[in-house]
Structure 1
Amino acid sequence: MNQPVTSTVVRTTCPYCGVGCGVLATPQPDGSVSIAGDPDHPANFGRLCSKGSALGETLSLDGRLLYPESDGARVTWDQALDRVANTFKQAIADYGPDSVAIYGSGQLLTEDYYVANKLMKGFIGSANMDTNSRLCMASSVAGHKRAFGSDTVPGNYEDLELADLIVLVGSNLGWCHPVLYQRIVRAKAERPNMRVVLIDPRRTVSADIADLHLAVQSDGDSALFVGLLGYLARTGITAPDFMENHTSGAEAALLVAEDWPVSRIAEVTGLSEKSVQLFYDWFAKTEKTVTVYSQGVNQSSSGTDKVNAIINCHLLTGRIGRPGMGPFSVTGQPNAMGGREVGGLANILAAHMDFTPDAIDRVGRFWGSDNVATKPGLKAVDLFAAMGRGEIKAVWIMATNPVDSMPEADAVRAALAACPFVVVSDISDRTDTGRTAHVRLPAAGWGEKDGTVTNSERRISRQRPFLALPGEARPDWWIIKEVGNRMGFEHGFAYFSPAEIFAEHVALTAFENHGSRDLDLSGLVGVDYASLPPTQWPVRHKPAARMFGDGHFFTPDGKARFVPVLPPPPFAPLPGTFILNTGRVRDHWHTMTRTGKTPRLSAHYAEPFVEIHPADADRLNIRPATLVQLSNRHASAVVRALVTDRQRRGHLFVPMHWTDQFASNGRIDALVTAKVDPFSAQPALKMAEVHAEPIHTRLYGFFVSAQRPMLDTGYWAVAEAIGGMRGELAWFDEAADWDGWLRSAFALPAGASVQSVLDARSGRRSFAVLDNGRLVAALYTSPDPVLVSRQWAVGLLTAESLNASTVLAGRPGADMPDSGAIVCSCFSVGSNTIAAAVTDQGCTTVEAVGACTKAGTNCGSCRAEIRGIIDAHRLAAAE
């Protein structure tokens, strides 16, 4: 465990999603860290989701990159930094500044981002700095700028509680932004007349509070909102004074919308006319409406148009900048917003300024550089494509894992493998991207870093350190400034603390601004950085909670712009293929470098899976829990079948989290085509075409072991467990020598005794290896998916005085009750425990189950599953 630098409570900010929850971190005498929500932070008021609650379990040094490496060998910081600086300088001298690039991350702090952007765009003179925020929110940025003249989120989280209608578009808020979801849940409980509409091809857990679920055809949301615009105009639900005085371009947008009546909308979206009409009526009659949108809108080849189709409806009705109303983009990463503020996208210069002559001159004078980039650089997809063509000679990747997260991820891995010089700054020693690096630099992690992040409501919060830097890890800003100094730019990078960097960022936002730019932090000049409270920008005289309420926008004429949107034709996959939708699960984050370290976050979903509709599964002879191969011309993946009617027919859903560290073939973004939105260059990560087919498996297996085994089976997926590891296996050919395979895979000592039992009729086997009553390893195999209770088997790892017969039985005895599959990760409550609360304790509501078991009483993300268990057992009792 990392060593604490304090024993007092430290107020900091969660490093996961863009909600930006306040966290109280308290180092304990035993080296652990107690985590709690900060009741005074206005983003979460003390609430935390399952991931945030488990932050203290992710802080071990296991798997950390602790020392600089060059070509796989440990080196000093001077050697590593000199090599990076000299190689970048040589590439620039030989091929020009556009031959080098930086690829960053929404995991960076604003201060890290600022220094990286300044180095690349201000002194190297190229705008080839993009980040994984391109995969997340670029379409929102482009849509905001087209409509408002600036990348401004108008509202704040309080609006979610004040609204009378909340429209969730392509946003599984219940899993991806659980704390915001719970704020809505509580508001709806207090005001039952509040309505929620969910627009999503999948019936996600967010449908649990929805009064209407519109299972729209993929990419059908553009047409839905274009139709809504026309409907509002036809029925006279407009704000004429606001439109005349504060907007332009309505005529052109409405001209397109006239051609989209309800009947046509129903046809192209796959919805009934009745449900479309109901949604339109609710929107028309409800002034206090907030439209929340996220990756289902952004990650599309028409994502920017979707954003503007939504914004158009709010401009037409004047529902913007006032309490309880407005379009609301919720951000995927903790500092995607902060990165955008300092220029962390290739098409932005700095401080929300673009590559205009005035801005280039202004930033150059402020930075004291005559070599400021003069044009946008390569955006993420184009950047790696150029690398694959040999045009990028050196790249520096910071705090992200593009070998797993980029579309056409195999091509990205090949591009990095072919790049003459790859630098990776990371906390993890085991990423697929890190394997391609010539130089690896150990970065500081959450709890060690010091800086700021900005959340989805424009609120700047501090991340404060409470742990010492382990090994030779260093903050990203320090690493970047040291390289800048070695490249000869000492006068631009004389920083000694993140406070200095933040002060410079603040000053740049205020420099020659005078209210002409939305990002203005002039009110923070001279602020005490150490005690900076959570603060919304802009901050001129005081922070602004909402934007545009005065009708002033940041376009040349000060008016918001309607954007004509022509909906794309319905997406028709080729015969025999499915539309693949990728996304997140509740308890994991990106490529699991952090969440993969905690057993309870892996207990809910411990392997990659595909959601498939029962009719599609039946047609393809895919049975529940069997293995499925997904493939197209880019790649293939093998995942577990989760057969569910939550999924639309013809559609599949697969999470994006699994990497080569956790599964044999689960890198799902390798199948996603690198097709991008023409305005934002954000890739369509939810619209791949794939074939699906069952895999004919000879044997399935499940294991628990005290140590991670070396696996060579046809399929495997592993996860942390309390006391060891757990994993799913499959063989396409049965092992000829089971004793030998076990000894090799689990590295058993020569004297270890392997005990086994075979059920000849069913073909099921059990294997057990014990050492003085403690489990070393257990393996269960079957011709069908293994039925052993995973939670019971995992519990064997911490049991004492075991005997082989208990392990080999493959099921719990009366003295070891089976809690069932984990439903509530916050409190590790299983399905059987919840079912018992219903059947034995008479619990008939989610609240009653929570009072009995604690399930669902923290982040609430499991409430929909709890309700499903309650309903199933009440139905069974009725029968």
Structure 2
Amino acid sequence: MIEAATDGVRTTCAYCGVGCGIVATRQGDRAARIQGDAAHPANHGRLCSKGTHLGETIGLEGRLLHPEIGGKRASWNKAIAHVARKFADTIAEHGPDSVAFYVSGQLLTEDYYVANKLMKGFIGSANIDTNSRLCMSSAVAGHIRAFGEDVVPASYEDFDVAQLIVLVGSNTAWCHPVVYQRIMAARAANGTKIVVIDPRRTETCQDADLHLPLKPGSDVALMNGLLAHCRAAGIVDEAFLSASVSTPEGFWDALEGCTPEATAEACDLPLESLRAFFDLFAANPRTITLFSQGINQSIRGTDQVNAIINVHLATGRIGKPGAAPFSITGQPNAMGGREVGGLASTLASHMDFAPENRDTVKRFWSSPAISPKPGLKAVDLFRSIREGRVKALWVMATNPAVSLPDAGLVRDALATCPFVAVSDCIADTDTTRFAHVKLPATGWSEKDGTVTNSDRWISRQRAIFPPAGEARHDWWIIAQVAQAMGWRDAFAYDSAADVYREHARLSAYENHGKRLFDLSHHAAITNAAYDAMEPARWGGAPFADGRFSTPDRKARLVPVTQIALQNTLPHYPMTLNNGRYRDQWHTMTRTGLSPRLSQHLREPMAEIHPMDARALGIADGDLVTVSTPSGSSVFRATLSDGQRRGEVFTPIHWTDRQSTGGRTGLLPRPLVDPHSGQPGFKNTPARVEKFAPEWRGFVIASALPDAIPAAYATRVRVQQGWLVEVAGDGDPAALAKALLPRGERIESMDAARGTLRVAVLDQGKLRAALYVTRSGGLPPREWLVAQLSLFEASTMELLAGRPASPAPDRGPIVCVCFDVGMNTIIEAIASQSLVTVEQIGAALNAGTNCGSCRPAIARLLADSPATGEPVPA
């Protein structure tokens, strides 16, 4: 398979749950050309900016290439034996619940399966949870409550025929760009209406027919009001309810007070906007409600999910083309992890811990000690580690020291845990720094197995390169530890295909139609057929026959009520929201390696409404401190009237490895949904204050030390090096001494203006430069960054911070795929009289690949004097 890579390997993207197919063609030892797979049903050849630039992230920089014990290189035999002995000794002394695994949607299904089997079936504890707990576990809980099984009852094809698409808590244009472009294509072909429900006016709102900027956390009130309106309007499907849905006594009575007026007040929405949404919903029976983290990441996330599902069940908008509630996942294999039981709250193959299910799985695995009950969910797991109840932890392919809420507590837990093993492909993360043992795992371009996307397509992940160094597949590492713990026969897998066959057999074992998840058609798949496997969707068209996975085959309407959420506190008068940037992924261990992906937004920004900023004395571009009861961090302020008053938004991506500021993970409270255990990231009481350092500046360098001694410092990758924004107090010359390498040094200082400029050259080539000011301006970054790539730099130009003959300023990058700047687009609009996004694409290529920049291009058109009004993207 690897030998064929030069001809192009069909594999699956490493990022979100859209599950795009990729064709990767090897170009040398560690380089590949990346294209979309036109034959893959998830994307039909399209890729977003992150997928397009995967080739920039597959080198060996930063890779963990050898096992380590106590920071020293070790053999695989010693590392495996050490992990097995530590876990076995801990279990022998303290019992099976004293150990835990924390795993990841970055794992392949085969990796997940072996980890789950070892913990739940052989160690005998369910203390295995996943970072998927942080993004979609409320959807899982809501599906199970309503349908009896965790089934997403929708497909991407439904977008093609929908009349109305409601996007709830999802910045789809940025977070799932390929899906967004499919929605836009449906709109162009069919006139599909689009409603966006989100407290922020995001890029996704650019093309919406209606945007409802509701109060954070008021989604239950909104959906209950919609359901009450549907009943009053006579569009409840009584026949479907009678045949296929169980309605609790008093369910409809509880909605009597959910009038449009009461709903508008609860959601802080204009009544006319609310009525417009209700009317659109009533008029368009083929409706998809697509929801994501804005719904799930709440301490009432499960109720919010069920409020959405209730509307679809009551109106019969489920199991039909173009009509479904649709949970879209954030990670590439969050769905695969759900299938095998990677959550602490599920057993395996969509089975829970009911006695009959435990008996079924126990017999199938020939298990010596099946777990008797659900295990600790993510937040509770790390709290238990901190309190000393869990004493051995194995973290796989994730970075909880950054991604979990109240990250300070998580770090305390990792620091005090007697034994921490980490399997990862990256050597130095915020989490591996706490590891007693590091186990080198294969990276995306080396992995071999399967993943399942948001609409249930199982796709092959195929290796482009052989494993780097001594890296091994996660399933192999786990199986070797299991064998060393004494369970040799049960974990004697020779290949990923062996694991997949067993997974498929378990899904069908004594199923008899009780669960839609059934891979019996793959139970005897051959190695050759596994290697050649085309994408295959399980579950068909779920619930098309009106039968669900409950004992009586009826779905359940789940009574849910809006509760008052404490989004502010006396010393924290604002509400913090957080989420993703368009071109970055999770904690940037992969996307942070790509210079192109770092061009769009190079700093962690705190988005604030201009009127709030004015009241706080904050100007656009100032530094601000965002504080919550859990911690504080410094961000760059950006003013946006797309924010609701009293609210602030920050990105999730920056870590201690990139920044002394921008650490959003420090801020959310560790409060969780009572049903799913999912943390409530989206509405944390917060305070914003201006941060006024004595000086500010930036550094460009071909290499940097690990630590940057500045009150504020954020680094991003650029061509041939790094760009670091810095600010602080005291003498900035100390920063120059700490950051700049040795070499030929040129320097300019203006004490009156408070400026310092230092450049270091090596045989005429720029190695690093520092630009600092106390009160004046700073030169543009782009031209200076480009000097790192030159063989000879002009000292006079470097000190001036600009070329002797000024070059055109292309402005901030809008289209990362084709490297097109804002000023370039504005100039083309004016000089060529361009009036549509398509015309700009034809002229500059901008917006013609992934399409995630099309809303931004449409805004530039709307602001152009030549057009004067919005143009659909």
Q: TM-score, length-normalised on structure 2? A: 0.97
Pick closer, same or farther for the CA change 1:301–1:31 going to 2, 3 Å: closer
Q: Deviations over 1:497-520 (max 9, x none)?
A: 000000000000011111111211
> 2:248, 2:557 within 8 Å by CA — same for their partners in 1?
yes
> 1:169, 1:198 within 8 Å by CA — same for their partners in 2?
yes
- Residue 637 in structure 1 maps to residue 633 in structure 2: yes
Per the TM alignment, residue 457 of structure 1 is displaced from its structure 2 partner at its CA by 0.2
Matches within 5 A, 1:36-75: 36-75=35-74
Q: Deviations over 1:191-249 (max 9, x none)?
A: 2x311000000001000111100000000111000100111011111111111000011
Structure 2 residue aligned with 1:541: none
> 1:223, 1:268 within 8 Å by CA — same for their partners in 2?
yes
Structure 1 residue aligned with 2:378: 380
Structure-1 separation of matches of 2:96 and 2:747 = 64
> 2:610, 2:639 within 8 Å by CA — same for their partners in 1?
yes
Equivalent residue letter for 2:840: V
Per the TM alignment, residue 526 of structure 1 is displaced from its structure 2 partner at its CA by 2.4
> 2:660, 2:712 within 8 Å by CA — same for their partners in 1?
yes
What's the secondary structure of 2:444's corresponding residue? coil
Pick closer, same or farther for the CA change 1:634–1:877 going to 2, 3 Å: closer
Structure 2 residue aligned with 1:411: 409
> 2:658, 2:714 within 8 Å by CA — same for their partners in 1?
yes
Structure 2 residue aligned with 1:756: 748
Matches within 5 A, 1:259-408: 259-408=257-406
Equivalent residue letter for 2:711: G
- Residue 685 in structure 1 maps to residue 681 in structure 2: yes
Per the TM alignment, residue 755 of structure 1 is displaced from its structure 2 partner at its CA by 2.7
What's the secondary structure of 1:611's corresponding residue? strand
Per the TM alignment, residue 839 of structure 1 is displaced from its structure 2 partner at its CA by 2.1
Determine which of 768, 777, 796 is the counterpart of 2:768.
777
Per the TM alignment, residue 791 of structure 1 is displaced from its structure 2 partner at its CA by 2.2
Determine which of 219, 226, 229 is the counterpart of 1:228.
226
- Residue 745 in structure 1 maps to residue 746 in structure 2: no
> 1:106, 1:336 within 8 Å by CA — same for their partners in 2?
yes
> 1:789, 1:820 within 8 Å by CA — same for their partners in 2?
no
Structure-2 separation of matches of 1:786 and 1:73 = 47
Matches within 5 A, 1:661-672: 661-672=657-668
> 2:745, 2:758 within 8 Å by CA — same for their partners in 1?
no
Per the TM alignment, residue 758 of structure 1 is displaced from its structure 2 partner at its CA by 3.1
Determine which of 797, 803, 806 is the counterpart of 2:794.
803
* RMSD between superposed Cα atoms in Å: 1.6
Structure 2 residue aligned with 1:728: 725
Determine which of 539, 546, 554 is the counterpart of 2:549.
554
Structure-2 separation of matches of 1:182 and 1:306 = 26
> 1:700, 1:786 within 8 Å by CA — same for their partners in 2?
no
Structure 2 residue aligned with 1:594: 590
Structure-1 separation of matches of 2:804 and 2:44 = 43
Equivalent residue letter for 1:816: A
> 1:669, 1:685 within 8 Å by CA — same for their partners in 2?
no
Structure 2 residue aligned with 1:624: 620
> 1:577, 1:689 within 8 Å by CA — same for their partners in 2?
yes
575-584 or 395-404, which deviates more: 575-584
Matches within 5 A, 1:126-145: 126-145=125-144
Structure 1 residue aligned with 2:560: 565
> 1:166, 1:291 within 8 Å by CA — same for their partners in 2?
yes
Equivalent residue letter for 2:619: R
Structure 1 residue aligned with 2:831: 840
Q: Deviations over 1:591-640 (max 9, x none)?
A: 00100001111111112111111011111111111111111332110111
Structure 2 residue aligned with 1:792: 783
Per the TM alignment, residue 872 of structure 1 is displaced from its structure 2 partner at its CA by 2.5
Structure-1 separation of matches of 2:658 and 2:113 = 33
Structure-2 separation of matches of 1:467 and 1:29 = 10
182-191 or 238-247, which deviates more: 182-191
Matches within 5 A, 1:142-291: 142-191=141-190, 193-249=191-247, 251-291=249-289
562-571 or 208-217, which deviates more: 562-571
Q: Deviations over 1:478-510 (max 9, x none)?
A: 000000000001121010100000000000001
Aligned residues: 863
Q: Deviations over 1:344-382 (max 9, x none)?
A: 000111000110111111111100113111100001011
Structure-2 separation of matches of 1:201 and 1:813 = 47
Per the TM alignment, residue 5 of structure 1 is displaced from its structure 2 partner at its CA by 7.2
- Residue 486 in structure 1 maps to residue 478 in structure 2: no
714-723 or 521-530, which deviates more: 521-530
Structure 1 residue aligned with 2:452: 454
Structure-1 separation of matches of 2:723 and 2:290 = 38
What's the secondary structure of 1:323's corresponding residue? coil
Equivalent residue letter for 2:710: T
Residue ranges of structure 1 left out of the alignment (5+ in a row)? 539-543
> 1:626, 1:641 within 8 Å by CA — same for their partners in 2?
yes
Per the TM alignment, residue 812 of structure 1 is displaced from its structure 2 partner at its CA by 4.5
What's the secondary structure of 1:566's corresponding residue? coil
Pick closer, same or farther for the CA change 1:603–1:785 going to 2, 3 Å: farther
> 1:584, 1:655 within 8 Å by CA — same for their partners in 2?
yes
Pick closer, same or farther for the CA change 1:197–1:339 going to 2, 3 Å: same
What's the secondary structure of 1:718's corresponding residue? strand
Structure-2 separation of matches of 1:5 and 1:439 = 35
Structure-2 separation of matches of 1:785 and 1:437 = 45
- Residue 852 in structure 1 maps to residue 843 in structure 2: yes
- Residue 712 in structure 1 maps to residue 709 in structure 2: yes
Structure 1 residue aligned with 2:858: 867
> 1:219, 1:571 within 8 Å by CA — same for their partners in 2?
no
What's the secondary structure of 2:364's corresponding residue? helix
Per the TM alignment, residue 787 of structure 1 is displaced from its structure 2 partner at its CA by 4.2
867-876 or 489-498, which deviates more: 867-876
Structure-1 separation of matches of 2:515 and 2:38 = 33
Structure-1 separation of matches of 2:775 and 2:238 = 65
> 1:792, 1:819 within 8 Å by CA — same for their partners in 2?
no
> 2:567, 2:574 within 8 Å by CA — same for their partners in 1?
no
What's the secondary structure of 1:599's corresponding residue? coil
Structure-2 separation of matches of 1:596 and 1:384 = 27
Equivalent residue letter for 1:724: G
Per the TM alignment, residue 263 of structure 1 is displaced from its structure 2 partner at its CA by 0.5
Structure-1 separation of matches of 2:624 and 2:866 = 32
Equivalent residue letter for 2:305: V
- Residue 651 in structure 1 maps to residue 651 in structure 2: no
Per the TM alignment, residue 697 of structure 1 is displaced from its structure 2 partner at its CA by 1.2
Aligned-residue sequence identity (percent) comes to 51
Per the TM alignment, residue 813 of structure 1 is displaced from its structure 2 partner at its CA by 4.9
705-714 or 595-604, which deviates more: 705-714
Structure-2 separation of matches of 1:71 and 1:637 = 31
> 1:287, 1:319 within 8 Å by CA — same for their partners in 2?
yes
Q: TM-score, length-normalised on structure 1? A: 0.96
Q: Deviations over 1:500-555 (max 9, x none)?
A: 000000000011111111211112232311111101003xxxxx1x2001000011
Pick closer, same or farther for the CA change 1:376–1:805 going to 2, 3 Å: same
Structure-1 separation of matches of 2:606 and 2:822 = 21
Structure-2 separation of matches of 1:741 and 1:304 = 49
What's the secondary structure of 1:36's corresponding residue? strand
Equivalent residue letter for 1:533: E
Pick closer, same or farther for the CA change 1:202–1:357 going to 2, 3 Å: same
Structure-2 separation of matches of 1:128 and 1:802 = 57
